[in-house]
Homo-oligomer: A and B are copies of this chain.
């Protein structure tokens, strides 16, 4: 099995949740059946939200590229980054090493395209996703369009509360409210695309199909580790172009 390098710590709860999902995805008889992971649970990556929304602050890009290099130098054979917002820096991560980068955003857009071909995808994530259009190009590649939370402040406050206090019932209610509004605004499918919200996935209600970008990444990680197969949404390192995502 190939060792998967994890650019983690954004936040640490989400990284742990990703690791747990990878464990749960395996029908194991012993430790050795599980996927080997090398995890840089780097809690000191400069705030992505701050850098994108408020400008200034330290640039997370070079830190993420350095983490990618370190993981590959230490034996990682492919890279993943269980943080949607951080995918704003996906090209810097993908080009930092020769190892494939399993791009959660592109794979999630491909998944949305399967569920609602040509439809509108409600992106349940941080306001930073909309601000800089993290999903827009990958959605367009799939012939999809986006719907966002009307009250981005509520989404941001919810992320901050989960980072500080962990998941709560109140947070789940707020997120269900946001889903209802996005469906009213035309969303055909909801993509949970903030790993903080993934912690609450089972408690969020929506009237349309909903899936979690993190679970898409979990499946891809397990598949890559076991088969080494290059999935259509793997960014090959060294290639500055975003890879095409097969429909």
Contact = CB atoms under 8 A, between A and B. Distances in A.
A160 B75 CA distance: 29
Number of copies: 2
A41 B12 contact: no
Given A19-B19, A39-B41, A41-B19, A12 B34 contact: yes
B16 A31 contact: no
Chain A contact patch, size range: 35 or more
A111 interface: no
Contact of A43 (B34, B39, B44, B45): B34
A100 interface: no
Nearest to A83: B31
Contact of A74 (B12, B70, B164): B70
Interface in A129-153: none
Interface in A30-56: 30-45, 47
A1 interface: yes
A120 to B, nearest CB: 31
Interface of A: 1, 3, 9-13, 15-16, 19-20, 23, 28-45, 47, 70-71, 73-75, 160, 163-164
